Amino acid sequence: MFLTRFRVNTARAGARRLLSSPQRLHAAVMMSFAEPPPRDGSGPRVLWRLDSDTKAKLLLYIVSPARPDLTHLVEQAGWPTSPAAGWDTYGYGGFLATLTEGDIWAFRLTANPVHNIRLRAGEQTKRTAHLTPRHQTRWLLDRQLRAGFNVVEKTIEHRLLPEGDEHELIVHKQRGLLFTKQEEDSGKQNHVSLTTATYEGRLRITDPDALRRTLTSGLGKAKAYGCGLMTLAPVR
């Protein structure tokens, strides 16, 4: 497994075109591999996420079973004439092997928090996005056990609100995305609408194997569109 970091040059027209559509950026990411791994759910897959801590710095993270070649992204959305520009790829397997039950890590995740509802009796269920931070938080907490972790709970004296502030977790950067996707067989253009939210906080590992699967296979829906990639960092 590999973890790759690429800085996007947002001043370039090619970068702005990619950023305008998760479908285009997904295609560009998959072009980084001569033989992309299967997406049938049988194992690790290619995951990606955009992070922007400041307006001037936008980073693309990729987790993948194979080492990517981002030459085309440098030419289209990077700094192709700068010797220092490019991307950094790190071996991820060694880090994953060190994960131990009980360890505490800071985490970041951009996800597509959705649920299935039935508007009328007898109708098929419809996938609908959670739109409030409270429901988006519950979406993650409902999945934490199967994903191999628990979000760390705050002590009572550190809770600022009577309810909804029990965990060391922030949900922010909610975005509504609308773009078109072309069907491979028919060439038909379909409109895709999805909502994303970014989660940041601290977690405690409860099942290292399950967490490894989460980190390499993703969490939730819309993984092809920049959702599902969780990354860990040492707790400061």
Q: Over its length of 236 residues, how does the chain's per-residue pLDDT go in tens digits? A: 999 999 999 999 999 999 999 999 999 999 999 987 776 666 789 999 999 877 678 999 999 999 999 999 999 999 988 877 789 999 999 999 999 999 999 999 999 998 777 666 667 777 787 788 899 999 999 999 999 999 999 878 777 777 778 889 999 988 888 777 766 666 677 777 889 999 999 999 999 999 999 999 999 999 999 999 999 999 97
pLDDT at 1 (0 to 100)? 94
pLDDT at 159 (0 to 100)? 78
pLDDT at 216 (0 to 100)? 96
Q: Report in angstroms the alpha-carbon separations of 177 from 22, 23, 87, 230.
A: 8, 11, 27, 20
pLDDT at 119 (0 to 100)? 63
Instruction: Report which DSSP code applies to 143.
Output: T
Provide CATH code, domain 99-233: 3.30.70.1210
Q: CATH 3.30.70.1200 spans which residues of the chain?
A: 2-96
Longest dimension (CA), the chain: 62
Give phi and psi for 225, each to the nearest 5: -115, 30
pLDDT at 184 (0 to 100)? 63
Burial of 130 (C-beta count, 10 Å sphere; 0-12/13-18/19+): buried
Dihedral of alpha carbons 193, 171, 207, 212, sign: positive
User: Cα–Cα–Cα angle for 230, 232, 235, nearest 5°?
Assistant: 145
Q: What is the pTM of this model?
A: 0.89
Q: Report in angstroms the alpha-carbon separations of 155 from 49, 103, 159, 166.
A: 31, 18, 7, 8
Residue type at 233 in one-letter notation: A
Q: CATH 3.30.70.1210 spans which residues of the chain?
A: 99-233
pLDDT at 75 (0 to 100)? 94
What is the pairing mode between strands 149-151 and 57-64?
Answer: unpaired
Strand partners of residue 90: 3
Q: Are 6 and 60 in contact (CB under 8 A)?
A: yes
Options 3.40.50.970, 2.60.130.10, 3.40.50.1370, 3.30.70.1200; CATH for 2-96 is 3.30.70.1200
d(C-alpha 149, C-alpha 214), whole Å: 10
